[in-house]
Amino acid sequence: MEVLYCGICHSDLHQARNDWGWSVYPMVPGHEIVGRVTEIGDEVTRYKVGDTVAVGCMVDSCQQCDQCRKGLEQLCRKGNTQTYNDRDRITCEPTYGGYSKRLVVREEFVLRVPDGLDLSKAAPLVCAGITTYSPLRTWNVGPGSRVGVVGLGGLGHMAVKLAAAMGADVTVMSRSSGKEADALALGADRLLVSADEKAMAKAESSFDLIVDTVPVKHDINPYIPLLDVDGTLVLVGQIGPLNEISTVPLLLGRRRVAGSPIGGIAETQEMLNFCAKKGVLPEVEMIRMDQINEAFERLERSDVRYRFVIDMATLMA
């Protein structure tokens, strides 16, 4: 496939700088990819040359285990193959991502981009979109659901848009009121200032689901009492340690803390179709390939609204 656009995920920054300790160089990041099919193998049946397609965070799995057979390739018992900084299951060669002119992908891990989605904005859906859509679907969010979103960055703004499109009552939680106008414009019903002790106390037991999108170590204890009985706080941002958690509100309120990765291929396609139907797209800033280092620096200081996308036509051959 020819790569047309590639989103920049916060994990690209972590991987490029080896924040998690498992980066392998040389590396080509990028797992939010939209492009066009230019050639197919002899046994490919799902796609044809000229189709508009997308590739997300994984490009293979064992296809045989119980999780893969259920369409949960992201939870493959043998581990899914990541789009970059991983090893091909057949050749054992490194996988390279979407900061590229072209990509070769197994057809089972290619997604169809529905008509009506703006290609220049659609790429982040296959990471930021599915990362937030999956827990919303897992915990059955719909009309009447009370959803909180912690953090209003690349993941958080998608969680707001998707939850609102599902009919939920949505509250953004932020340390200050500075993002209130943005939160409301994105579809939230209100903003809750987490530094306001009185407001936080008043909001106790008022959420069915809280989606925590913060991508760094932080304290989740202030948010747990906000959950209603059987409510869940699901972590989708931070990969690594958190501050110590008090079990008191968990035990006394029968509350839960959970984690959620991306979704499977079928669920990701469902998400793309949902976004096309509801007109949900990320807020993006288009950049040239030669602006990537500046984009990484801005991403590190949260200076982006809300997702960078690289126009791959600017990558010199």
What pLDDT is attached to residue 13?
93
Q: Which fold has domain 129-259?
A: Rossmann fold (3.40.50)
Mind listing the pLDDT tens digit for each residue in 218-228?
999 999 999 99
Does 142 have pLDDT greater than 90? Answer: yes
* Count of positions (residues) in the chain: 317
Token pair 């508009």 is found at 52
Q: How far apart are CA 49 and CA 20, in angstroms?
A: 38
- Give the torsion sign (CA, 21, 76, 133, 135): negative
For a pLDDT cut of 70, what percent of the chain falls above it? Answer: 100
For residue 302, what pLDDT band results from cuts at 50, 70 and 90?
A: confident
Q: What is the 3-state secondary structure (H, E, C) of 203-231?
A: CCCCEEEEEECCCCCCCCCCCHHHEEEEE
Q: What is the pLDDT averaged over residues 255-276?
A: 97
Q: What are phi and psi of 199, to 5 degrees?
A: -65, -40
Q: What is the pLDDT averaged over residues 287-304?
A: 93
| CATH 3.90.180.10 at 2-127+263-314, yes or no | yes
Cα-Cα-Cα-Cα torsion 137, 138, 141, 142, nearest 10 degrees, comes to: 50
Residue type at 272? L
Opening angle at CA 191, ends 185 and 194, nearest 5: 145
For residue 139, what pLDDT band results from cuts at 50, 70 and 90?
A: very high
Mind listing the pLDDT tens digit for each residue in 61-84?
999 999 999 999 999 999 999 999
Q: How far apart are CA 21 and CA 13, in angstroms?
A: 13
Q: How far apart are CA 263 and CA 271, in angstroms?
A: 9
What pLDDT is attached to residue 93?
95
Q: What is the 3-state secondary structure (H, E, C) of 140-152?
A: CCCCCCEEEEECC
Mind listing the pLDDT tens digit for each residue in 21-58?
999 999 999 999 999 999 999 999 999 999 999 999 99
Mind listing the pLDDT tens digit for each residue in 172-224?
999 989 899 999 999 999 999 999 999 999 999 999 999 999 988 999 999 99
Q: In the structure encoding, which two tokens stand for residue 223, read together?
A: 């948010």
The residues spanned by each domain of the chain are 2-127+263-314, 129-259
What pLDDT is attached to residue 89?
93
Q: How far apart are CA 109 and CA 284, in angstroms?
A: 24
Does 257 have pLDDT greater than 90? Answer: yes
**What are the distances in angstroms from CA 118 to CA 5, 25, 47, 281?**
11, 33, 20, 8
Does 317 have pLDDT greater than 90? Answer: no
Check if the beta carbon of residue 265 is closer than 8 Å to that of residue 111.
Answer: yes
